[in-house]
Amino acid sequence: EDKVVQSPLSLVVHEGDTVTLNCSYEVTNFRSLLWYKQEKKAPTFLFMLTSSGIEKKSGRLSSILDKKELFSILNITATQTGDSAIYLCAVYSDMRFGAGTRLTVKP
Amino acid sequence: DGGITQSPKYLFRKEGQNVTLSCEQNLNHDAMYWYRQDPGQGLRLIYYSQIVNDFQKGDIAEGYSVSREKKESFPLTVTSAQKNPTAFYLCASSLDRAPSQPQHFGDGTRLSIL
């Protein structure tokens, strides 16, 4: 059965810290991996990754995919309280989501 | 302003009652999706539609029904057969169902049992 596992499930840090969120997957017919940020309601799209080893970057956020080891990481540097959210990883073979990582950034 | 509108934001269901959640998009997207989100379980796919008048079951379709009579609209009915309907329901759309297209989400409907 296809599965997407995110870790940790919950994380509390202080402003300025750097965090790394993990997403591992076992799916048939992998096509792409997506990261979303969900603050209160609608998840918003962050990154889509299809190729191994190519870092995607947007401001303080970056992500990379390893298709050999079947995982992706999402890095957030110099965290701010506005980064507090649930971060969702989704793998497109049949759009399967992980359980999410709840990040809390304290001032 | 383009986007996805879900209504209502909150909904209460009585025993034995069917309820319908609305999802409308003005993004001119072909594909639309319904997800259910429970605490600690991420999003699970209920139904999806790639084109008008066509839809497919997702992982947890039992107790739910959908229709896609118009491109802009993809309502979800939670039937009385769904014994544990309390959850947060998210509707999404994408340009098409290709793996290169990210999904855009609505703000969700929170359904509770009375």
For an interface test with A, the pick among B5, B50, B103 (most A C-beta atoms closer than 10 Å) comes out as: B103
Taking CB atoms within 8 Å and a gap of at least 24, the contacts of B55-64 are: B58/B33, B58/B34, B60/B36, B64/B34
For an interface test with B, the pick among A1, A3, A4, A41 (most B C-beta atoms closer than 10 Å) comes out as: A41
d(CA B54, CA B22): 17
Model confidence pLDDT, tens digit, residues B76-88: 999 988 889 999 9
Query: Which pLDDT does position B5 carry in this prediction?
Result: 96
Cβ-defined contact of B99 to A50 (cutoff 8 Å): yes
Query: Cβ neighbours of residue B101 under 8 Å, at least 6 residues apart?
Result: B31, B94, B95
Q: What residue in A sits closest to B110 (Cα-Cα)?
A: A41
Query: Which pLDDT does position B114 carry in this prediction?
Result: 80
Cβ-defined contact of A34 to B104 (cutoff 8 Å): no
d(CA B32, CA B2): 15
Query: Which pLDDT does position A93 carry in this prediction?
Result: 80
Contacts of A32 in chain B (CB under 8 A): 99-100
Model confidence pLDDT, tens digit, residues B33-67: 999 999 877 899 999 999 999 999 999 999 999 99
B102–A contact, CB cutoff 8 A: yes
Q: Is the pLDDT confidence value at B74 over 80?
A: yes
Q: Is the pLDDT confidence value at B31 over 90?
A: yes
d(CA B109, CA B69): 21
Q: Is the pLDDT confidence value at B11 over 80?
A: yes
Query: Which pLDDT does position A70 carry in this prediction?
Result: 96
Q: Which residue has the higher pLDDT, B33 or B96?
A: B33
Residue A85: CB atoms within 10 Å:
19
Query: Which pLDDT does position B1 carry in this prediction?
Result: 60
Query: Which pLDDT does position B99 carry in this prediction?
Result: 72
d(CA B109, CA B87): 8
- pLDDT tens for chain A, 107 residues long, are 789 999 999 999 999 999 999 999 999 889 999 999 999 889 999 999 999 999 999 999 999 999 999 999 999 999 999 999 999 999 988 788 999 999 999 99
Query: Which pLDDT does position B55 carry in this prediction?
Result: 95
B99–A contact, CB cutoff 8 A: yes
